[in-house]
């Protein structure tokens, strides 16, 4: 078991933009970070990002937590992190991290986020935020009122140079009014995927592909088009013997008048993630799977748009990926995001 840290007490987390921007100054001292849950999403996505931030001098992982001693010890050994815990409360008391990144199943997000916030740590939590609106209200109530600490959710698909470029074009109405949109997350998960005990259950997962898979593309669509005003939807269990749905479809009307279809599935062998927006002067389409780059975006101008204007729209600038890619071996059943449940 770990011994108490001699590091300073928890400080305040710098502006997130200062950590994201490549040319931003390094914080006065590294952001002391703790990882909660050391399963697939922590190892495959968070660990590489944390390692990169540490190399740049802006972050330092001081501890990890998992209920399985062997799992957390292996995680810490791989990342060369000093302290492995099986008790989140003890870790918070002894290490006083600035930031806690939560990589556990949805049913634990509320309790762990609130616990971290009350200990003075900022929170970076895997999606979905929490299973219910009441849980979300509890998290919001635990946040600070003047300068934090606050909780934030991992929605990496709204980032990257491509999303920023298209967001700017839409905000400036360079492409005209957005009129019609399509949001598609059609992935494939087999029976082995749902053999993980907490998956496919309302109490522990909070929902099916709309909550756990399509949420990324829906977040990107909202980020591009703004809030919606009307939703009509249906869902069904067509294959897997689970409590939650395996597919959902929705018709959405946005405040700006645009209308969209939204499809989320885990029953689709030909996997794809797609967002398309038809505007008055051009169609914008993103096609990818688990993460996108500039080359994954396509802008098709209307026939009367000058070639010079279309060329400016298609100039995405220096490429920066959205993040979130997973190795091919992680596809399907083995991509289970099985973050182990810490105490």
Please indicate, yes or no, whether the overall pTM of this predicted structure exceeds 0.85.
no
d(CA 313, CA 175): 9
Sign of CA dihedral 107, 111, 116, 122: positive
Give me the pLDDT at residue 329, please. Answer: 30
d(CA 83, CA 3): 8
Give me the pLDDT at residue 96, please. Answer: 97
Q: If pLDDT is split at 50, 70 and 90, which confidence band does 145 have?
A: confident
Whether the predicted pLDDT of 85 surpasses 70: yes
Mean pLDDT of the 45-73 span: 94
Whether the predicted pLDDT of 335 surpasses 90: no
The region of weakest confidence among 15-24, 141-150, 245-254 is 15-24
Q: How far is CA 216 from CA 67, 70, 91, 225, in A?
A: 28, 32, 31, 14
What percent of the chain stands above pLDDT 90? 83
What are the pLDDT digits (tens) for 176-207?
Answer: 999 999 999 999 999 999 999 999 999 889 89
Q: If pLDDT is split at 50, 70 and 90, which confidence band does 15 have?
A: very low
Whether the predicted pLDDT of 284 surpasses 80: yes
Whether the predicted pLDDT of 46 surpasses 60: yes
Whether the predicted pLDDT of 292 surpasses 70: yes
Give me the pLDDT at residue 325, please. Answer: 55
Q: If pLDDT is split at 50, 70 and 90, which confidence band does 313 have?
A: very high
Give me the pLDDT at residue 146, please. Answer: 84
d(CA 311, CA 274): 23
Q: If pLDDT is split at 50, 70 and 90, which confidence band does 28 have?
A: confident
Q: If pLDDT is split at 50, 70 and 90, which confidence band does 29 have?
A: confident
The per-residue pLDDT of the chain, averaged, comes to 87
Mean pLDDT of the 265-275 span: 97
Give me the pLDDT at residue 343, please. Answer: 27
Whether the predicted pLDDT of 172 surpasses 50: yes
């Amino acid at each position: 078991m770990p011994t108490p840290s001699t590091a300073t007490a928890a400080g305040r987390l710098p502006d997130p933009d200062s950590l994201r921007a490549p040319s931003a100054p390094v914080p006065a001292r590294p952001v002391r970070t703790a990882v909660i849950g050391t399963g697939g999403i922590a190892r495959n996505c968070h660990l590489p990002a944390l390692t990169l931030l540490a190399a740049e001098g802006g972050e330092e992982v001081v501890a990890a937590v998992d209920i399985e001693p062997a799992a957390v010890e292996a995680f810490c050994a791989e990342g060369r992190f000093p302290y492995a815990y099986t008790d989140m409360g003890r870790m918070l008391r002894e290490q006083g991290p600035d930031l806690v990144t939560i990589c556990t199943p949805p049913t634990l997000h509320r309790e762990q986020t609130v616990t971290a916030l009350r200990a003075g740590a900022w929170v970076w939590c895997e999606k979905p935020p929490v299973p219910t609106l009441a849980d979300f209200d509890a998290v919001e109530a635990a946040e600070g009122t003047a300068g934090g600490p606050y909780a934030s959710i991992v929605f990496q698909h709204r980032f990257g140079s491509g999303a920023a470029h298209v967001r700017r074009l839409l905000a400036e109405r360079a492409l005209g009014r957005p009129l019609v949109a399509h949001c598609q997350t059609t992935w494939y998960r087999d029976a082995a995927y749902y053999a993980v005990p907490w998956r496919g259950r309302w109490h522990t997962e909070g929902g099916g592909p709309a909550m756990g898979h399509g949420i990324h593309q829906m977040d990107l669509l909202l980020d591009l088009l703004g809030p919606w005003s009307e939703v009509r939807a249906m869902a069904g269990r067509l294959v897997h013997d689970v409590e939650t749905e395996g597919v959902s479809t929705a018709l959405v009307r946005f405040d700006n008048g645009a209308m969209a279809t939204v499809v989320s599935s885990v029953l689709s062998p030909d996997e794809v993630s797609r967002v398309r927006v038809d505007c008055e002067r051009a169609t914008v389409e993103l096609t990818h799977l688990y993460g996108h780059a500039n080359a994954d975006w396509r802008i098709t101008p209307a026939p009367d748009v000058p070639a010079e204007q279309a060329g400016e729209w298609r100039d995405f600038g220096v490429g920066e990926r959205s993040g979130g890619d997973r190795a091919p071996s992680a596809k399907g059943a083995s991509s289970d995001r099985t973050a182990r449940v810490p105490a």
